[in-house]
Structure 1
Amino acid sequence: MIKFAKTAFVLAAFAALPLTASAGLFDDDEARRAILDMRTRVTKMEGDLKNLIDTKTDKSATLDLIAQQQNLMEEINRLRGQVELLAHSIDTAAKREKDFYSDLDARLRKLEPREVTIDGKTASVDLAEQKAYDTGMQQFKDGDYKGAASLLSDFVKRYPASSYAANAQYWLGNAYYAQRDCKTAIVAQQAVVKNYADSPRAPEAMLNIASCQTELKAVNNAKKTLQELIKSYPDSQAAATARDRLKGK
């Protein structure tokens, strides 16, 4: 009787054994139902074994009881293997699902706008916008002024409302000036003054316009531009430079 009581205890412990993965986390309803059915069967087997222990106490029934006990234990072991296999499958599926969503989240974060500081102001810039601007500026820094002009021109067309637009337009003018194309440089810098008058680049653009006009021998136009610069942006560093230039004219 003690041996059978111990067996019943083993059955009870197995029936109460928690699965390694929570079924509620997954969509595999069939697997959950199979596991719950197995646990129900194990619980029933536990009851059947207890009933055998309670009812077959005479010695003549001992062999029959042992045989039934062995059959029950074999069935329990088989079910335990199936439960462990299903639990492992659920764990694997859960890991794949977690990895998938982690990767998806990482990809989405890369596409989200990022906060940057431009001319002392915080702005939101998306990844494609940032990459396009940085590529154009890198071309300029590398001395490829023609390539920079092409990329920066494309940038201001694609992102006219970008927080980088004023800078891109300003450096576009500089890229033309670096190629000794003063007429196109003036047009580009005039766009800075017209479209981005509040940008710190606007007074610098006017100073560059005056420089180009001087090189084109349009001295009166250069003088007029410097005077407008001082009037429009009196406290800027560009205005201070404009005053010094006017003194020499």
Structure 2
Amino acid sequence: MRSIALFTLPVLLTALAVPVLAQKDKILEIQRDLALLQNDVRSMKSAMDEKFAGLSVLVQQSLDTANKSTTSLAILDKSLGDKLREQQTSLNAPVAGVNAKVDQMTTELALVKESVSELSELIKKLQGQLVEMNNAVRIINTPPPTPSAPTASSSGPPPGISSETLYTNAVQAKNAGQLDFAIEQFQQYLKFFPDATYVPNAQLNLGDVLMTQGRFDEAVQYFDAILEQHPDFPKAPDAQLKKGKALLNAGRRTDAVNEFRNLIKKKENSEQAFLAKQELKALGMPYAAPAAPAPKKKR
């Protein structure tokens, strides 16, 4: 039995020694791997340090370039400012000269306008004198009628007088301020040519001239003639507005108010209706007539 035990002991020791040796080899292998890993880490750290150093150099170079650019921009801005100030200084004198020229031209233009206005007034006076001369010449050149010569009927115009001539003479006399002669010419036009084209115009002009002379009741008659005989005349609203003003100036306040109200009712959105409202407002009157009170019911 003892010999068997002695034989078994070395076998057991050998069996136990094999795992221990294998474990030691494993530890050595791990140590080698750790050493290699440490070497790799040191290599990476060294590479990173080199890259950071290069990046720092690039950043510093960029900062230097930016500082130089800022300095250059400041110098350029100062240079541009100086140039602009020089140009402004050099332009101030010519601009001041141009402004002076413009002021001078404005003054001269005002003088020219005044001269033109005076010339227009002179032309109007000359036109009036020319009308008078034409009428005088026409009367002189018209031969007196003889008993044997045919004459115009009592209801017809004088020989050689046309509707165009009468109307033109009347308008020119009105523009020249020859109001009495204008009234005479307009009245003859309406008498001898009641169906002519410019009858409503003549009535409107005649009413204007009469209002200028303060003959308001007579002016109302001609404005009425337009409204009654020519209701579609484009200037009929003007005639109605003028009629209201003539009535008001003649002291016929109630009639004037009614005329203004009728105009507003017929041409509510027209310029003449707006002016009629202004007249009523000045009189302190409403735009429309107040409604009549309802009749009381009998009990």
Q: TM-score, normalised by structure 1?
A: 0.47
- Higher-strand-fraction structure: 1
Higher relative contact order (CA 8 A, sep 6+): 1
Q: TM-score, normalised by structure 2?
A: 0.39
Q: Decide which structure has the larger Cα Rg and report it.
A: 2
